[in-house]
């Protein structure tokens, strides 16, 4: 098992963070098997592209809400980590209050 659950959508409230605000959150290690995805489908071109993180954040974005960790952005990075036999990745984690 790679992820805790494969979800389809964001069950948490809209946070409205900009890219600049996400960049202010320091990355931390997150276990892949604790993540719930917010996308059920991945574009294979994104997964295999050599420059897939060139224009975006190097770290995936995770939202912690109601005790769960939701992978909001960076599914292709998380899958690459799993394909390289890694069980953790560095991600920016936003903690939302209920």
Q: Going edge to edge, which strands form the sheet with 61-65?
A: 5-6, 35-37, 68-73, 61-65, 88-95, 27-31
What pLDDT is recorded for position 98?
A: 78
pLDDT of the chain along its 98 residues, tens only?
A: 799 999 989 999 999 999 899 999 999 999 999 999 998 887 777 666 665 555 566 899 999 999 999 999 998 889 889 989 999 999 999 999 87
C-beta pairs of 49-57 under 8 Å, 24+ apart in sequence: 52/76, 52/77, 53/77, 57/19, 57/22, 57/23, 57/92
Contact 42, 76 (CB under 8 A): yes
């Amino acid at each position: 098992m790679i992820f805790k659950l494969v979800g389809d959508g964001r069950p948490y409230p809209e946070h409205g963070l900009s890219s600049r605000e996400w960049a202010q959150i320091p990355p931390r290690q997150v276990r892949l098997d604790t993540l719930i995805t917010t996308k059920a489908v991945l574009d294979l071109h994104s997964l295999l592209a050599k420059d897939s993180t060139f224009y975006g954040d190097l770290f995936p974005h995770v939202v912690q809400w109601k005790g769960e960790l939701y992978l909001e952005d960076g599914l292709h990075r998380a899958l690459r980590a799993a394909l390289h036999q890694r069980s953790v990745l560095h991600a920016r984690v936003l903690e939302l209050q209920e």
